[in-house]
Amino acid sequence: MNDDTRNDRSQNSSSPLWIVDAFASAPFTGNPAAVCLLEQTASTEWMQQIGAEMNLSETAFIRPLEANRFELRWFTPEAEVDLCGHATLAAAHILWETGRLALDEEAVFDTKSGILKAVKESDNIRLDFPAEPVAPVVLPEELIEALGFIPRYTGRNRLDYLVEADSEDTVRQLKPDMAILRNLDARGLIVTSRSSSGYDFVSRCFYPAVGVDEDPVTGSAHCALAPYWAKRLRKSELKAYQASRRGGHMTVRPEDERVLLLGQAVTVLTGKLTI
């Protein structure tokens, strides 16, 4: 253990920690995220160790900077990521729920993807994220093998591949080859289709390369899905459902180079670090 990690343990050993179900209106649905509030700066190594210990798709670390502004970083069990929606929603939820921000205050986060903002909107939290539109690409042969079907469309942005399937049933029944996906030259894979169950579109998201075989509900994926389906369906507001085993829903509003993501969150555990 290096000196930085020892210092992190002593400085942040009493940091409060929460587990929050994000993009969920009831416990045990949506996507669980751990949220850790730091009193001091912490090393990447130490935060990665905590992320591995939490063993959730994301652990968010928030550190106060000034007024309503916070540093925010996200870690899977295996890697730090550049953008995460559900853990940002969870972090904002905790700041308001614990009174660290007033309900009418905006939460402002400094992240690897720039400034992200969150506000309360009725019963929802509204996240202001960068749009991540995809551009058409030729699907690698190994990805076709992993999927087991020929997509209607294949695109890619700086983060992920996105493929459109022929139906919601295809999306829901998909069992991709994780060993192949683990070696993709991208963070992961988004599979989507128009919905036949009352939403505008459905999706599933797979990220074995960063230690998450299937993510329950993925806000950052909707930064690609929102502009894609808004153009296809000619709608400015869309209802989205991520058809994982836990399942989760959100409303998305593409706005120029931004995407607004609206969802709810529920706290299921409160504690503190003891290391």
Is 78 part of the annotated catalytic residue set?
no
Given a contact cutoff of 8 angstroms between Cβ atoms, the answer to whether 72 and 88 are in contact is yes
Cα–Cα distance, 168 to 203 (Å, whole number): 8
Q: Are strands 160-164 and 114-121 parallel, antiparallel or unpaired?
A: unpaired
Given a contact cutoff of 8 angstroms between Cβ atoms, the answer to whether 17 and 268 are in contact is no
Position 92, amino acid: A
Of the candidates 39, 45, 58, 97, the residue annotated as catalytic is 58
Burial grade of 263 (CB within 10 A; 0-12, 13-18, 19 or more): buried
- Which residues form the catalytic set? 58
